[in-house]
Amino acid sequence: MKKVPATPVRILLADDNQHGLTARRMILEELGHAVEVSSSGTEAWAKFQEALVNGISFDIVVTDYRMGDGIDGVELIQRIRQADTGLATATRVIMLSAYTEILGMSESEIGADVIIPKTHKEVQELLRAVKKLAQHPPRRRPPSSAKSQPKADRKSASA
């Protein structure tokens, strides 16, 4: 039996791993959320912009950190945060990454509302984060710099 949230959440999932993308979509849809998927950062950004042009927005964007098409999760978040519209400021963002600890990522540094490590607890943490973010108004501000990168990336970029 399908659980339907009081107010279905409109979610955009972005990940270049098709298996992970499909599994997350199925779980979130089973809970009654409206989910769109993108297999790249570029596709996710295009879908986000198209939604804004049509006068709607995603409540939550869930993005992977690394996607191989030129727009990674950090850049996608920066574009969302800098979008020049009132709707975009209401979009919550969840970053998924296997590199969370290695890169020293923090929510405030990259502009995400939540960072979830890709571990055996990922699904439970994702569902908990979606529920929490859907219930609370957004407070996140854009990253302080358009070039914001996790600590380890900055070190390698300057080396």
Q: Can you give the CATH number for the domain in which 77 is found?
A: 3.40.50.2300
Torsion over CA: 11, 133, 92, 6 (sign) = positive
Residue 110 lies in a domain: yes
The pLDDT assigned to 38 comes to 96
Residue 2 lies in a domain: no
Q: Which helix (H) or strand (E) holds 128?
A: helix 122-135
Number of independent structural domains in the chain: 1
d(CA 42, CA 121): 28
The pLDDT assigned to 6 comes to 61
Query: Helix, strand, coil: what percent of the chain each, to 5?
Result: 45, 15, 40
The pLDDT assigned to 76 comes to 95
With a cut of 70, list the residues of the chain below it in pLDDT.
1-6, 84-89, 137-159
Residue 18 lies in a domain: yes
The pLDDT assigned to 159 comes to 34
- What number of other Cβ atoms are within 10 A of residue 75's Cβ? 19
Q: What is the mean pLDDT of the chain?
A: 82
Place of tokens 């358009």: 146
Residue 133 lies in a domain: yes
| pTM assigned to the model | 0.81
Residue 5 lies in a domain: no
- For residues 122, 120, 124, 59, the Cα torsion angle rounded to the nearest 10 degrees is 10
Domain extent at residue 142: 10-158
**Residue-wise pLDDT tens digits, 95-130:** 999 887 777 788 888 889 999 999 899 999 999 999
Residue 1 lies in a domain: no
